[in-house]
Amino acid sequence: MRPKRALLATATLAVAGALTVGMTLAMAPVASAGTTLRAAAAEKGRYFGAAVATGKLSTSTYTTVLNREFNSVTAENEMKWDATEPSQGRFVYTGGDRLVSHAQANGMGVRGHALLWHQQEPGWAQSMSGSALRSAMINHVTQVATHYRGKVYAWDVVNEAFADGGSGGRRDSNLQRTGNDWIEAAFRAARAADPGAKLCYNDYNTDGVNAKSTGIYNMVRDFKSRGVPIDCVGFQSHLGTTIASDYQANLQRFADLGVDVQITELDVMTGGNQANIFGTVTRACMAVSRCTSITVWGVRDCDSWRGSDNALLFDCNGNKKPAYDSVLNALNAGSGIPNPTTTPPNPTTTPPNPTTTPPNPTTPPPGGSGCSASVSLNSWTGGFVATVKVTAGSSGTRGWTVSMTLPSGSSVTGTWSATASGSSGTVRFTNVDYNGALGAGQSTEFGFQGNGSGAGMTPTCTAS
């Protein structure tokens, strides 16, 4: 369970974010009224998900409702920093892997939650600061996103980094104090580690147009203008007895920036207005073509972090509440996502590695049968992350090697989607088994993290 926090004046509750591979469900050729939440959502090209505590997967009432009603799951705690890296450099994926296995066996997508959050940092990270924390933070993002590559459709890369109140500014935290570009650095590292996942920013008290949501809006607009890889924004929507009148308009203004919007942690205080608010949120999502998923934070009332609020769609015995009917009716009455492009993964097979053919390669193929490489850097004092794009020439490749000379005093500390020979001076990076074969003009990416400076590096590519 996540730590409880007090209701704010707006009756909106704060918690950690939640999101998991970024695929849009295919719409059925002929729509019919779905009789479960998962069927109704899938017919409209969307996910309807629930936050899951893996310890409850052995409870039959819990899993009966979960498997019948939801086509997406989010780990309540099992993928957060304190769970996945309890001591520096020691990664533990037992809980998250169990949830992924359950999802694959039951035809569900997975939202990853959350790579970085100022709360639920492990103790060793809480005591760090500056460039040491920045390096540890980037390494954590890289390692966890790489582990779940191809299994998670969306990640909450950064969670709750904006402050409450009227400033619309960033929250003070040890992460923020590593430099104002820390969010950008995290998103770039996540993209390099898993090019196929949707990368999301997630926060609470952003349900309407207010100072906080506008601060996030401005960040997203800036990221989009500069090519920072952000694909979606999560709205937690922990609601009380009212809902902002401009809820839908707020979702739409973010969608108009060119990102997906997702309801990530929905729950609503019990009372006479509960069913209406659940229905209003669902109708708002269905009316915004880029609203791709709704996730409720828990399965039954007794599983909710909100205790006696009875804030979910099922009672503890698994019985449907009036709010359930309100949501189901709204899903069935809503519009589908136009031209969904991908389908959910086959639950019995491992999804293909997404780094073999990254989307929308932009570098034109060089002439001849060789390959070309380009590098982009995200740097901070004392360290950097390099993302290298390899593009095949007109004859394609069966394998490739990229050579790069690091500045004096710099060294490679970690590599993904390639094998490094050496760690300083001239370093050779060779493809791994899944990304060596490229068709003519096709591209792939690999990355590495380093100490020191990465300035002035020029990659050269040799194809085989």
Residue 9 reports pLDDT greater than 50: no
Domain boundary among 310, 333, 356: 333
Same domain, 307 and 431: no
pLDDT in the model for residue 165: 85
Domain boundary among 318, 333, 348: 333
- What average pLDDT is seen over the chain? 86
pLDDT in the model for residue 271: 87
Same domain, 295 and 438: no
Same domain, 221 and 148: yes
pLDDT class of 87 with cuts at 50, 70, 90:
very high
> Which structural domain, as residue segments, surrounds residue 62?
37-333
CATH of the domain at 136: 3.20.20.80
- The answer to whether position 29 is within a domain reads no
pLDDT in the model for residue 224: 96
pLDDT in the model for residue 380: 65
pLDDT class of 6 with cuts at 50, 70, 90:
very low
335-355: pLDDT as tens digits = 888 754 333 333 333 333 333
- The answer to whether position 321 is within a domain reads yes
Same domain, 123 and 255: yes
205-252: pLDDT as tens digits = 999 999 999 999 999 999 999 999 999 999 999 999 999 999 999 999
- The answer to whether position 22 is within a domain reads no
Residue 113 reports pLDDT greater than 70: yes
Same domain, 114 and 250: yes
Same domain, 279 and 387: no
116-137: pLDDT as tens digits = 999 999 999 999 999 999 999 9
pLDDT class of 180 with cuts at 50, 70, 90:
very high
pLDDT class of 197 with cuts at 50, 70, 90:
very high
- The answer to whether position 104 is within a domain reads yes
The catalytic residue positions are: 265
pLDDT: is 11 or 389 the higher one? Answer: 389
pLDDT in the model for residue 32: 55
pLDDT class of 388 with cuts at 50, 70, 90:
confident
Q: What percent of the chain has pLDDT over 90?
A: 72
Residue 102 reports pLDDT greater than 80: yes
Least confident range of 257-261, 270-274, 276-280: 270-274
Same domain, 97 and 159: yes
Same domain, 223 and 319: yes
Its pTM surpasses 0.85 = no
Q: What is the 3-state secondary structure (H, E, C) of the chain?
A: CCCCCCCCCCCCECCCCCCCCCCCCCCCCCCCCCCCHHHHHHHCCCEEEEEECHHHCCCHHHHHHHHHHCCEEEECCCCCHHHHCCECCECCCHHHHHHHHHHHHCCCEEEEEEEEECCCCCHHHHCCCHHHHHHHHHHHHHHHHHHCCCCCCEEEEEECCECCCCCCCECCCCCHHHCCCHHHHHHHHHHHHCCCCEEEEEECCCCCCCHHHHHHHHHHHHHHHHCCCCCEEEECCEECCCCCCCHHHHHHHHHCCCCEEEEEEEEECCCCCHHHHHHHHHHHHHHCCCEEEEEECCCCHHHCCCHHHCCCCECCCCCECHHHHHHHHHHHHCCCCCCCCCCCCCCCCCCCCCCCCCCCCCCCCCCCCCEEEEEEEEEECCEEEEEEEEEECCCCECCEEEEEECCCCCEEEEEECCEEECCCCEEEEECCCCCCCECCCCEEEEEEEEECCCCCCCCEEEEC
- The answer to whether position 349 is within a domain reads no
- The answer to whether position 28 is within a domain reads no
Same domain, 305 and 396: no
Tell me how far apart the alpha carbons of residues 267 and 285 are, in angstroms, rounded to a whole number: 15
Tell me how far apart the alpha carbons of residues 282 and 298 are, in angstroms, rounded to a whole number: 17
Least confident range of 84-93, 219-228, 425-434: 425-434
Instruction: Tell how strand 400-405 and strand 460-463 pair up.
Output: antiparallel
Residue 55 reports pLDDT greater than 80: yes
Residue 181 reports pLDDT greater than 70: yes
pLDDT in the model for residue 361: 32
Same domain, 375 and 313: no
Q: Quote the number of domains for the chain.
A: 2
Same domain, 268 and 381: no
Residue 442 reports pLDDT greater than 60: yes
**Range with top average pLDDT, 18-22, 53-57, 412-416:** 53-57
pLDDT in the model for residue 381: 67
133-166: pLDDT as tens digits = 999 999 999 999 999 999 999 999 999 999 998 8
pLDDT: is 213 or 271 the higher one? Answer: 213
Mean pLDDT of 25-36: 56
352-387: pLDDT as tens digits = 333 333 333 333 333 346 999 999 876 666 778 787
- The answer to whether position 363 is within a domain reads no
- The answer to whether position 3 is within a domain reads no
Same domain, 306 and 256: yes
CATH of the domain at 382: 2.60.40.290
Domain boundary among 305, 333, 361: 333
